[in-house]
Amino acid sequence: MDMSDISDRGLALLGCGKMGSAMLAGWLDRGLAPSSVWVMDPYPSDWLKAQGVHINADLPDDLAVAVVAVKPQMMGAALPAFQALGGGGTLFVSVAAGTLLKTFEASFGASTPIVRAMPNTPAAIGRGVTALVGNQAASAEDMATARALLAAVGQTVQLENEAQMDAVTAVSGSGPAYVFHLIETLAAAGVAQGLPEAMAMQLAKATVGGAGALAETAEDDPSQLRVNVTSPNGTTQAALEVLMDEAAGFPPLLARAVKAAADRSRELSHE
């Protein structure tokens, strides 16, 4: 299934908040016809109203794809709108955090192809990374369609099994918050060493943003990039001896943080 097939048969988007809007903008930019899109949202934004898509209208019977982008706590109220599409003809793609494939199968039937996706917040600027996993009914073609749809907001990876989604949540789903906190604390440390607040924040943001872009584009892996910056007995080495301390540095701290997030993800998805 490609964008032309989706344009022919149509796509429904359930929920058009930040993530839904980012995906929709990406699809429209990639040539999906606005007339082929049905959006269900109780509070459509002015931006959405200006896109030329169908809003809160009756859905066609043979939609190619139905994308679920509502908050997990809204799921119970929202899913009945898509109930009639279950049974195999329509591919379901969910970007709702923590909602298991079996939850959707309970609503739509196990014969319905369902792909669960976990994008992260940089998707809002097309720099996200999304992990996807399908149910038994989802074919290789269905997975390719889901990956193409999520590629509109960044990179995609395909998981081997749904259990890996808890680790993905802890690394890339929650991960942007870890980086934002790193920026906060790096700037505060700069202030403690005598820099003005605004300047320290500018330096911290640009350093983290630039280093991230370099890590993504350089041929060297991050370990080698780190070595490249570290002169023997220099300033970087002095800092890294603190940060890389195996008892109190980044290695045990991040391991504990990511484990805490993954454990909480497992708890939430089984409540």
Using pLDDT thresholds of 50, 70 and 90, give the confidence band for residue 134.
very high
Contact between 167 and 262 under an 8 Å Cβ cutoff? The reply is yes
Give the CATH number, domain containing residue 262. 1.10.3730.10
Cβ-in-10-Å burial (0-12, 13-18, 19+) of 217 comes to exposed
CA-based R_g, the chain, Å: 21
Percent of the chain at pLDDT > 70 equals 98
Which strands make up the sheet holding 128-134, listed edge to edge?
54-55, 37-40, 11-14, 65-68, 91-94, 114-118, 128-134, 154-158
Range of the domain at 264: 175-269
How many Cβ atoms sit within 10 Å of the Cβ of residue 243? 12
Domain identity same for 148 and 208: no
Cβ-in-10-Å burial (0-12, 13-18, 19+) of 28 comes to middle
State which of 131, 165, 199 marks the end of a domain: 165
170 found inside a domain: no
Domain identity same for 102 and 21: yes
Domain identity same for 125 and 212: no
* pLDDT score at 264: 95
221 found inside a domain: yes
69 found inside a domain: yes
* pLDDT score at 78: 76
Domain identity same for 252 and 140: no
* pLDDT score at 235: 97
pLDDT score of 1 more than 60: no
Contact between 15 and 68 under an 8 Å Cβ cutoff? The reply is yes
Domain identity same for 222 and 142: no
Handedness of CA 118, 120, 123, 129 (dihedral sign): negative
* pLDDT score at 175: 98
pLDDT tens for 23-69 read 999 999 999 999 999 999 999 999 999 999 999 999 998 899 999 99
Structure tokens at 127: 């720099």
Report helix, strand or coil for 55. strand
Number of structural domains in the chain = 2
- Closest by CA to 131, choosing from 155, 109, 111, is 155
- Closest by CA to 33, choosing from 64, 72, 75, 79, is 64
pLDDT tens for 71-129 read 877 777 778 878 888 888 899 999 988 889 999 999 899 999 999 999 999 999 999 99
State which of 140, 165, 190 marks the end of a domain: 165
Distances (CA, A) of 243 to 51, 124, 206, 239, 250: 48, 31, 20, 6, 5
62 found inside a domain: yes
Domain identity same for 114 and 220: no
Domain identity same for 159 and 224: no
138 found inside a domain: yes
d(C-alpha 130, C-alpha 76), whole Å: 24
For 184-194, what is the mean pLDDT?
98
State which of 165, 192, 209 marks the end of a domain: 165
pLDDT tens for 159-183 read 999 999 999 999 999 999 999 999 9
Domain identity same for 152 and 183: no
Give the CATH number, domain containing residue 110. 3.40.50.720
